[in-house]
Structure formats: C-alpha cells, structure tokens
Amino acid sequence: MDNRLIIKKALEVTPYENLYELANSVSEEAMSQQAQKTVEKPVPKKTENTSHPKEDILSKNANLLACHVVSSPDITYKRRGELLKLSMRKLGPAKEELVSKEMVMELEIGRGLFLAPTEKLYQYLGLICPYKRNVSIEHSFMTLLAQLCTEADPLVQKSRIEMPVGNIGHTIDMVSNLTNGQRIAWEITCNCKSNVASHAAKLKDKGFSKIVFVCRDHNIRKSVQTILADAGFEPEFYSIIECVLLGDLINKKKKFNK
C-alpha cells in the first residue's frame, strides 16, 4: 500500500496532524496493531502523484517497521520485533533494508539499540521531519527522545527544542517549562567534548532552575561530570548542574505512561 494511504488510514482512527502526535496518544501495542492492519490491506493501484522511485519502494515488513519507527521512536529494536510480532528472521532483513536505503540509522544508547529515522524516511512517508537543527542524526534523534521523555512528566508543561539564549545567537538544545513556573535547560551530549563547560557557562544567570546534560552512556556521563567539576564554577551555579543518562529518561517515561 502507498505510504500516504497507510498514514491516512492510521490518522482516520484519531484525527491528529501526524504520526508523531498520534504516538503520544496511544499505547505501543495499539499503534503496532494499527500499523499491522494498515500494511496488510489489499494494495490499490498507485497514482502518478503518490508513487515513489522504484529504488525507494519498501517491502511489506520494511514498510511496517518504517511506520513503527516514526510513530514510536523511543522503542528499542528488539522490542519492536515483539510488538510487531515479527521474528528476527523477518525483522533483521526489514531493518537492513531501511539502513541500506539510508532511511534509518542504528544508534546505541546505553545498552539498547535504537533505529533513528532520517529525514529521507520522513520524506518517504510524507511527514514533516521533527528535527529542528539537523547537525547530526545522532544529536537530532537524541533530542527528539529527550523531548518525548520530558513531556511525559506531569510536572512539565511543555518542552521546546532549539531555544535561543540571550541575544547573541546562542541556542540551547531544549528548554522545559514546568507547571510551577520554573524552567529547565537541557544539553544533549552524544559524545563528550571539551565545550560542555562553555555550554554550561552560557546558561548562567539566564533564569534556569536546573541545567541538565543528557548523556548517551555511562562513559560519556563520567567524562562530562569530570569536565564540569574542573571548570571552576561557583558552588551556587555548579549545584544546579546535573548529568543524566538518556536511557534513564526513557525508563522514567515508561513509568509515567503506565
């Protein structure tokens, strides 16, 4: 089935603007069941306006996996197979097909393997890409996951990506507005770099109650903590800086959704 028809069928169930919003409103199981149903319907004749180049046309299982990836990006690769009821014999080739067509990138976060959708996949599915400043797929995907995780917290009113800081062109990866009026600044750290201290410094006296560095794994978090501890910040400012694992945020989101 053409991807626009797949998406249309999914959105007919609940009138959201796109699958990204739909993913925030239904359970993992419900979404996977809906994706399974829509992909397995009879294939209609394609029109000239909705057809894809022959080299980009996906197999049924790859199409199913693609829809699931964009609708629920915070699910690990292994868990997707369970939800979609696909054996590894079927899931593996579907994943490799998407990787070879540069529609997803495999990304290890902590101990989990995730499939990060690329702009090409969003374009293929006819969806608006949620990545604000696509410096790298790793960074954009981790920022998207962090936004999904923070907005699941009942204390968070809204999280916005790529927010300006001051009037000299600086931006911050994400800012969360809490229900009590406070603001939290988030910096997404894929790989530890020496500029984490400067990222923290630019947020000083900007009205944030907390500055959080979201790290990809334990080793990166340890390196970031060392750099920040040696940066010479005043105790009062240093006390509002934290380093957390993205994997912990994902697990916390699961608890909020129960």
Residue 40: CA atoms inside 13 Å, Cβ hemisphere, count?
Answer: 7
Q: What is the pLDDT of residues 95-108, one digit of tens each?
A: 999 999 999 999 99
Mean pLDDT, the chain, integer: 82
C-alpha to C-alpha distance for 183 and 14, rounded to whole angstroms: 32
Contact in structure between 74 and 253 (CB atoms under 8 Å): yes
CATH architecture of the domain with residue range 3-130: Orthogonal Bundle (1.10)
Neighbour tally for 155: CB within 10 Å = 11
Q: d(Cα 4, Cα 125) in Å, to the nearest integer?
A: 6
pLDDT tens string 232-244: 999 999 999 999 9
pLDDT for 190-216, tens place per residue? Answer: 987 778 999 999 999 999 999 999 999
CATH topology of 3-130 equal to that of 143-256?
no
Taking a C-beta distance cutoff of 8 angstroms, is the pair 69, 115 a contact?
yes
The model's pTM = 0.77
Contact status, residue 200 vs residue 227, Cβ threshold 8 Å: no
- What pLDDT does 17 receive? 41
Domain ranges of the chain: 3-130, 143-256
As a CATH number, domain 143-256 is 3.40.1560
Would you state the structure tokens that stand for residue 233, as one six-digit string?
Answer: 């910040």
Read off the pLDDT band of 135 (50, 70, 90).
confident
